[in-house]
Structures are given as structure tokens and as C-alpha cells.
Amino acid sequence: MKVLCGKQIHPYFQDTLEVSGYDFDFYTGTAPNNSEVDILVTMLSQTVDDSFLKKFPNLKMVLNYAVGFNNIDLDLCRSKGILVGNTPGVLTEATAHHTLLLMLAASRQLKLSVQNIYDNHWNDWEPMGFLGPDVNGKTLGIYGMGRIGFYFAALCHRAFSMKVIYHNRNESPNAGEINAQLVSFENLAVESDFISVHAPLTSENQYIFNKNFFSKMKPEAVFINTSRGGLVEHKDLCQVLSNKQIFAAGLDVTEPEPVASDYPLLGLDNCIITPHIASATFEARKAMAQCVVDNILEYLNSGNLKYPVF
């Protein structure tokens, strides 16, 4: 089978398939003949739509090197008989830990204080310099109480005695373990000291975090997003941060991705942005590669995927 990866991924992927007993040809970036490609391993930055799929007339499956799959036209793939798989369950800890990093960095003004050193402005200890809200005992609001959202909530509840509230389509079956309370979307804004976004992007929640939501947040609140940039209206976020209507934000995802150097949020001292790296640990990226391998081998053995989107 001929396998095309959008980008080079963890070597576990190719190393394992080469000794699997099946015959594979591997390509990265481009293939010499798209019509011969059987399997696409796609990145979130690749839009899998009609114009894209027309290049691969004999494609059998699209395997997204990610948990999310909002970059893929699922209905189109289904109509063409193309299977779609992803890498669920292996990014939970890494993403939650990065969310914690952003929450602490944003609340403690890490970006501004570090830049102060590089600008040679660290002249003395300032008793009122770079103050920010503590996390201990505060209210954490979670939007999207799935695997990652719950893991992060439990981490903060147990480490910092944070009260957890959340907004979700349905009540979380694990919420009782951390005394988390289901609240309305409006109350999530009103009551939270820290808000962390963990929901997938859909047509129903695109730009759900906008000026209407931000206007209800506390002035000392911190907003964190490690899910998808399209959930947030970034012009509105930029405005409330510029006007100090909320304290700070930490983002691992933006819209668009990547951003240009003149992206307005980059110029704000109270917004820290990382380049979509929440899953960037050696262990997580290897586990993602293993999911792709497992999907391919399961298909060859049974005609199905081990981790199917459908």
C-alpha cells in the first residue's frame, strides 16, 4: 500500500509498519503519483475537501494525526467510501499540562516579566511589579467536559483546591468526583475566575466566545483556549484585553494558523500565545503515531479502523 504523510511524523510510524509483514511505500509531503495513494495521514493544517480529494481518486482512508477532525469534510468522505480515523485518548495528559502552563503563565504575567529582562529593564525588585491573580481556591470554568476538560479540571481541583463549574451538552458522568457543577453558558462567564476551553469546533459553536460572552466575565478573569481557534472571535478578545476588561488570555490555538507577525493579539502584554503545541511531548507524539499504525493494521486485518471517526 502507498502511504502519503502530509508532514514527517514520529519515526515509530514508519519503523513499525516496515516490519509489520505488509508491503508499504512511504511518501512525505508529495507522492510521485497521487492516483496510487491508498492512505493519507493528514495534519490539522490540511483542509480535506472536494478539491483536495479529487487529487487522490483511489484513496481508502484519511487518518488525521490529531484528535480533532474539523479540517475534514466528513460527509464527503463518507459519500466516497473513504474511512476517516483519528488519534483519540493519547493527548489528554499532555494537552492538560500545557493548559495549566498557559493558565499560570497568563495569570502571573510571564510574557511581560520575561520580556522585561530581555529589554534590560530589570533594575530592582518591585513590590507591586507583575502582580496577577492566584489560582488557589478560585473558580475554574470548563467549556467542554470531555477527556481533556475533565483531566484538567481534576488536576486543578486537586492541586489548587479550585472549585469547578462547567458547561457541556450533557452532564459529565465524572463530575461528582471533583464536585463539579453544570452551569449555563452565561453563568460560566459570570462565575469563573479562570475559563478553559476544551470543546471540539462545530458549526453550532463557531465564534461562541465573543464580545457578548467576554462582557460578562470578571475583570480579573483569565481566558485559556487549547482547543480550536474558531471557537473564539479574536477581534473581540483583542478588544477586551486591550481595554483591560479581563485580566489576561493564554492561547495555544488561533484563527488563522499560523499567524503573521502583525497579528493584533501578539502585541498585547496580557496575551500569551504558543504555536499549537499542547500535544508536543515525545510520548504523546509517539502515541499518536501508534494510533495511526493501529488504524492501518486493523484495516488490513479486518477492513475496519481501530480508532474510527466513522
With CA atoms as reference, report the closest residue to 19 among 221, 293, 286: 293
Q: d(Cα 278, Cα 196) in Å, to the nearest integer? A: 13
With CA atoms as reference, report the closest residue to 277 among 255, 259, 253: 253
Q: pLDDT tens-digit profile of 240-287? A: 999 999 999 999 999 999 999 999 999 999 999 999 999 999 999 999
What is the rounded average pLDDT of the residues 230-249?
98
Q: d(Cα 19, Cα 14) in Å, to the nearest integer? A: 9
Which residues form the catalytic set?
228, 257, 276
Q: Which residues contact residue 167 at a Cβ distance below 8 angstroms, ignoring those fewer than 6 apart?
A: 141, 142, 143, 144, 182, 183, 184, 185, 187, 188
pTM: 0.95
The domains located in the chain, with CATH, are 2-90+281-302 (3.40.50.720), 92-273 (3.40.50.720)
Q: Which residues pair with 27 in a beta bridge?
A: 4
For 189-219, give one letter per residue: b (16+ CB within 10 A) or e: bebbbbbbbbbebeeebeebbbeebbebbbe
For 272-308, give one letter per residue: b (16+ CB within 10 A) or e: bbbebebbebeebbebbbbbbbbbbbbbeeeeebbbe
Q: Which residues contact residue 261 at a Cβ distance below 8 angstroms, ignoring those fewer than 6 apart?
A: none
Q: d(Cα 310, Cα 299) in Å, to the nearest integer? A: 13
Q: Which three cell numbers stand for residue 102?
A: 498557559
- The pLDDT value given to residue 292: 98
What is the rounded average pLDDT of the residues 297-303?
98
- The pLDDT value given to residue 150: 98
Give the pLDDT band (50/70/90) at residue 52.
Answer: very high
Residue 302 one-letter amino acid:
S
Residues 57, 49: contact at Cβ < 8 Å?
A: no
Average pLDDT, the chain: 98
Q: Which three cell numbers stand for residue 266?
A: 501578539
What is the rounded average pLDDT of the residues 231-248?
98
What is the rounded average pLDDT of the residues 44-66?
97
With CA atoms as reference, report the closest residue to 9 among 256, 257, 255, 293: 293
- The pLDDT value given to residue 238: 98
Give the pLDDT band (50/70/90) at residue 98.
Answer: very high
Q: d(Cα 240, Cα 21) in Å, to the nearest integer? A: 57
